[in-house]
Amino acid sequence: MANISIFGSGAMGTAVATILANNGHNITIYGIDDSELNDLKNGRNTKYFEDVNLPKFKVTKDKKQAVEDCNYIVFAIPTKALPETYKEVIKLIKKQVIIINVSKGFWKDSNKSCHEIMTQEAQDNSLISGVVSLIGPSFAIDIINKNITAVDAVSNNDKLNKKVQKLFSNDYFRVYTQKDVAGAESGSIFKNILAIASGMVAGLGYSTNSQIALITRGFNELKKFVLARGGKLKTIFGLSCLGDLMLTALSDKSRNYTFGKNFYNKNFDSSKLTVEGLRSIEIVYDEYIKTKLLDLPIVNSLYQIIYKNANPNEIIINLMKRKLKSE
């Protein structure tokens, strides 16, 4: 039985905490939202899961108290808030810990992934054994409902990966180990871009045929991106790339898909929605398309639509009129 601190009282933080509590570990959840924390003390989180019964958690708003006597620290907070919280927390660590990251995407104001920066910043702290990221197709509500889910424990340290694998795995949540950090992280970043595109196609009234055509050709662009960032071909066909893409690009449970689907819906308020794919589109465009390092027509088209107000139907027609070629 381990002592585990979860930073983040939102949907995924609650889901991760529930897995670990079900596995018999001692859990403390750190958060800043009083209503969420009060709910969690009483076995609920009505903001995200309505009337679902959860374990009753120990909660705190004190970072120092949260990290006391813990063996593992899990970060499950939005990427925009991660840098400040992470830097504060790692200074408070007083005993040997393993850090587990479930935040996906690029680090704030950087073109590097969350896992990459978190690992770099932990290297100078001898009390941090390493950083392991959980990556794969996993909606929080499905985890809460104990629907069978499989993800990867990702780091270049297989010993730590296996510890995290054992920590989380049970009869409804299965963890595989994965040492290809570049591949897994790149796939988890790019799938959000394709989820926005898929949602937009659905929102514009195109059929399932159209969505599948986009996702399949988009997967080819994902492959280019992953390989360009040093990922392995084998990883592309695993949970952290293909698996995560299938989940995120075809479900209304996905924030990125929902954003794309409602992009032209004037009654839809996306201001409170965390859409990691938006910043990813900008970075991939600037780093790979604008510099002509990669030919990524779907990402380029999304950039033109979202940031240059291009007509989506004209963009789609132009994509269909591209020079014919073999697959």
Residues 151-176 pLDDT 10s: 999 999 999 999 999 999 999 999 99
Is residue 256 annotated as involved in ligand binding? yes
Considering 61, 87, 146, 191, which one is annotated as catalytic?
191
Question: Would you call 191 a catalytic residue per the annotation?
Answer: yes
Q: What is the pLDDT of residues 61-102, one digit of tens each?
A: 999 999 999 999 999 998 889 999 999 999 999 999 999 999
Distances (CA, A) of 56 to 17, 247, 270: 10, 29, 31
For residues 96-109, give the mean pLDDT.
Answer: 94
Q: Homologous superfamily of 3-179 in CATH?
A: NAD(P)-binding Rossmann-like Domain (3.40.50.720)
Contact by Cβ (8 Å): 111, 283: yes
Contact by Cβ (8 Å): 187, 235: yes
Q: What is the pLDDT of residues 285-327, one digit of tens each?
A: 999 999 999 999 999 999 999 999 999 999 999 999 999 999 9
Could you give the residue range(s) of every CATH 1.10.1040.10 domain in the chain?
182-321
Number of alpha carbons in the 13 Å side-chain half-sphere of residue 66: 27
Could you give the residue range(s) of every CATH 3.40.50.720 domain in the chain?
3-179
Q: What is the mean pLDDT of the chain?
A: 96
Quick one: what percent of the chain has pLDDT higher than 90?
93
Report residue 270's pLDDT band, with 50, 70 and 90 as the boundaries: confident
Tell whether the model's pLDDT for residue 272 goes beyond 80: no
Distance CA 10, CA 119 (A): 23
Is residue 9 annotated as involved in ligand binding? yes
Is residue 8 annotated as involved in ligand binding? yes
Contact by Cβ (8 Å): 226, 320: no
Is residue 13 annotated as involved in ligand binding? yes
Q: What pTM, to 2 d.p., does this model score? A: 0.94
Pairwise pLDDT comparison (44 vs 273), residue with the higher score: 44
Tell whether the model's pLDDT for residue 216 goes beyond 90: yes
The CATH architecture that domain 182-321 belongs to is: Orthogonal Bundle (1.10)
Is residue 255 annotated as involved in ligand binding? yes
